[in-house]
């Protein structure tokens, strides 16, 4: 959510930002907010005048009573009662205006960074840099589900019977590999100075609306029936929610945390859930990184965060590239975002394995996350980035470490988590 003072002073800039995000249907919200804000400020001034008049009359009542002019005092009491009734009605109007303003402000997108490329959808995203040489071997690499099944490591049929499409059983070496990658990612981030955290896997609605837009919530979140609880789609949700309503001490900034959690997503609007693979699924596990920092530091942290993901993937012999998300591909709360994509030698193209975002003060405004400064409190900036998210990441890992004989190499950094295993040997071919 942007600062209403900024909108008030720069309505044309806010409208231009909406146009850059190809959301012209939201332009009317700016004018509606300006009109409601004008009425709300008028109501506040009216309320101040009424309270000042009431205070003056109340003081006069005391003087009259002490002077024995009871009848005159009673007349003024009646006038005070009328003022109280007007104040009650005025405060009701203030509340209605305030709610109407907030409802609209929550739908107006955050101001995008000046460097964000303009485009209507992800087809206009821009490649930034490649890391590692993408290799296409001179032998065929099977579909990722077939590789997993060759190790007796994937059971989709049982998962469909138990839960339906979009779920899976990981078994044996593949399950161990999955857990090893998460453990390695955890320790990798701890070694970068991040604090490890396991958060709640459910959050209340006021946290949901604080960390994402209504459109995202509807497309992603599973609601717990009969309770004000939602399953998290990423641990960023509950990790940022941890700071809700807090005034943070400047001396303690920044907060850098890496969190593990399962994630649950409806994938509403997706082009079907794969029946054979684990690329688009309803449930997965993820190691995340989040930063709550000073506004002046957030862009430095943005560059650090995506670079950590690149470093992690390269340490496991996986070529990656970074992709700048265009304006139309940015979620409403994001000021800037880049995707990390891994090379798929089977498909001979890159695919998304993580996303890094700077939300500036958009989430902090919604959740009331402020920093105590010498000249008053101000809103923090929040950032998040995927460290690693298997089982999708397993696709990139298996394809890039696959050998012609069906075995899979285990990079040196993962071997301590795999009991020293250097190579996985398939159980069947």
Q: Cβ atoms within 10 A of the Cβ of 305, count?
A: 24
Residue 417 is encoded by which pair of tokens? 């988590």
Nearest in space to 128 (alpha carbons), one of 314, 311, 323: 323
Average pLDDT of the chain, as a whole number: 93
Residue 117 CB contacts under 8 Å (≥ 6 apart), including other chains: 124, 125, 126, 324, 326, 327
Cα separation, 103 vs 105, in Å, equals 6
C-alpha to C-alpha distance for 13 and 258, rounded to whole angstroms: 35
Residue 37 has pLDDT above 60, yes or no: yes
Q: Span 22-46, mean pLDDT?
A: 96
* Averaged pLDDT for residues 391-420: 96
Nearest residue to 259 via CA among 147, 116, 354, 385: 385
How far apart are the C-alpha atoms of 156 and 145, rounded to whole Å?
A: 9
Q: Where in the chain is the domain with CATH 1.10.287.40?
A: 4-105
pLDDT at 217: 81
| pLDDT tens-digit series, residues 222-247 | 999 999 999 999 999 999 999 999 99
The rounded Cα 167 to chain-centroid distance in angstroms is 23
What 3-state DSSP class applies to 75? Answer: helix
Tell whether the model's pLDDT for residue 272 goes beyond 60. Answer: no
Among 341, 337, 302, which residue's Cα sits nearest to residue 318? 341
Residue 424 and residue 173 in contact, taking contact as beta carbons nearer than 8 Å: yes
Phi and psi at residue 342, to the nearest 5°? -100, 150
- The alpha carbons of the chain give a radius of gyration, in whole angstroms, of 28
Looking at residue 280, what DSSP letter applies?
Answer: S
Chain-centroid distance of CA 134 in Å reads 30
pLDDT of residue 280: 86
Beta bridge partners of residue 263, listed in sequence order:
284
- Report the pLDDT value the prediction gives residue 216, as an integer from 0 to 100: 81
The pLDDT of residue 429 is: 52
Is pLDDT above 80 for 123?
Answer: yes
Going by pLDDT thresholds of 50, 70 and 90, the confidence category of residue 268 is low
Tell me which of 273 and 347 has the higher pLDDT.
Answer: 347
Q: What is the CATH number of domain 122-424?
A: 3.30.930.10
Task: List alpha helices for 191-234, DSSP H.
Answer: 205-211, 214-220
pLDDT at 188 over 90: yes
Q: What percent of the chain has pLDDT over 90?
A: 83
Under 8 Å CB-to-CB from 303, ≥6 apart: which residues? none
Q: Tens digit of pLDDT for each residue in 206-226?
A: 999 999 887 788 888 999 999
Q: Six-digit token pair at 387?
A: 């460290």
Helix 172-190 and helix 298-314, axial crossing angle in degrees, nearest 10: 140
Cα gap 119→330, rounded to integer Å: 10
Q: Is the pLDDT score of 78 beyond 90?
A: no
Non-local (6+) Cβ contacts of 1 within 8 A are 105, 106, 108, 110, 333, 362, 365, 366
CB 111 within 8 A of CB 318: no
Nearest to 166 by CA among 273, 262, 265: 273
> Do 321 and 339 form a contact (C-beta atoms < 8 A)?
no
Q: In the chain, where does the domain assigned CATH 3.30.930.10 lie?
A: 122-424
Q: What φ, ψ does residue 128 adopt, rounded to 5°?
A: -100, -60
Please state, in angstroms and rounded to a whole number, the distance separating the CA atoms of residues 203 and 221.
10
**Distance (Å, whole) CA 200 – CA 237:** 10
Q: Is there a contact between 282 and 268 (Cβ–Cβ < 8 Å)?
A: no
Query: What values do phi and psi take at 82, rounded to 5?
Result: -65, -40
- Neighbouring residues of 333: CB distance < 8 A, sequence distance ≥ 6: 1, 109, 110, 211, 212, 213, 359, 362, 363
Residue 349: pLDDT above 80? Answer: yes
**Of residues 214 and 145, more confidently modeled:** 145
pLDDT digits (tens, 9 = 90+) for 307-321: 999 999 999 999 999
pLDDT of residue 331: 93
Tokens of 240: 């940022």
pLDDT at residue 63 in the model? 75
What CATH code is assigned to 4-105? 1.10.287.40
């Amino acid at each position: 959510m942007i600062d209403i003072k900024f909108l008030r002073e720069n309505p044309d800039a806010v409208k231009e930002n909406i146009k850059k995000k190809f959301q012209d249907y939201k332009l009317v919200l700016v004018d509606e907010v300006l009109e409601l804000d004008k009425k709300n400020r008028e109501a506040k001034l009216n309320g101040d005048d009424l309270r000042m008049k009431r205070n003056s009359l109340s003081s006069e009542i005391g003087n009259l009573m002490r002077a024995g002019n009871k009848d005159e005092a009673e007349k003024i009491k009646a006038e005070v009662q009328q003022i109280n009734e007007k104040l009650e009605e005025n405060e009701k109007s203030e509340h209605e205006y305030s709610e109407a303003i907030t409802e609209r402000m929550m739908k107006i997108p955050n101001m995008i960074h000046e460097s964000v490329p303009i485009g209507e959808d992800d087809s206009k995203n821009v490649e930034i840099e490649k890391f590692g040489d993408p290799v296409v071997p001179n032998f065929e690499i099977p579909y990722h589900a077939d590789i997993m099944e060759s190790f007796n490591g994937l059971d989709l049929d049982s998962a469909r019977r138990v839960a339906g499409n979009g779920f899976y059983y990981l078994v044996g070496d593949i399950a161990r590999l999955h857990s090893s990658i998460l453990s390695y990612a955890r320790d990798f981030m701890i070694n970068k100075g991040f604090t490890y955290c396991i958060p709640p896997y459910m959050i209340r609605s006021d946290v949901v609306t604080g960390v994402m837009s209504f459109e995202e919530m509807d497309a992603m979140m599973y609601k717990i029936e009969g309770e004000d609880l939602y399953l998290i789609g990423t641990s960023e949700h509950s990790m940022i929610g941890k700071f809700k309503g807090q005034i943070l001490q400047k001396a303690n900034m920044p907060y850098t945390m890496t969190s593990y959690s399962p994630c649950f997503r409806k994938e509403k609007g997706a082009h079907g859930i794969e029946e054979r693979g684990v690329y688009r699924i309803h449930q997965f596990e993820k190691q995340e990184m989040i930063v709550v920092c000073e506004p002046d530091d957030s862009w430095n942290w943005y560059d650090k965060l995506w670079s950590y993901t690149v470093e992690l993937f390269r340490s496991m012999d996986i070529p990656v590239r970074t992709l700048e998300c265009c304006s139309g591909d940015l979620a409403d709360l994001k000021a800037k975002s880049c995707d990390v994509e891994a090379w798929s030698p089977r498909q001979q193209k890159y695919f998304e394995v993580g996303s890094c975002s700077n939300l500036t003060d958009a989430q902090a405004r919604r959740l009331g996350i402020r920093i105590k400064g010498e000249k008053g409190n101000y809103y923090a900036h929040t950032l998040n980035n995927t460290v690693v998210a298997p089982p999708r990441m397993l696709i990139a890992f298996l394809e890039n470490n696959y050998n012609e004989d069906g075995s899979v190499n285990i990079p040196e950094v993962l071997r301590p988590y795999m009991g020293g295993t250097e190579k996985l040997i398939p159980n069947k071919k």
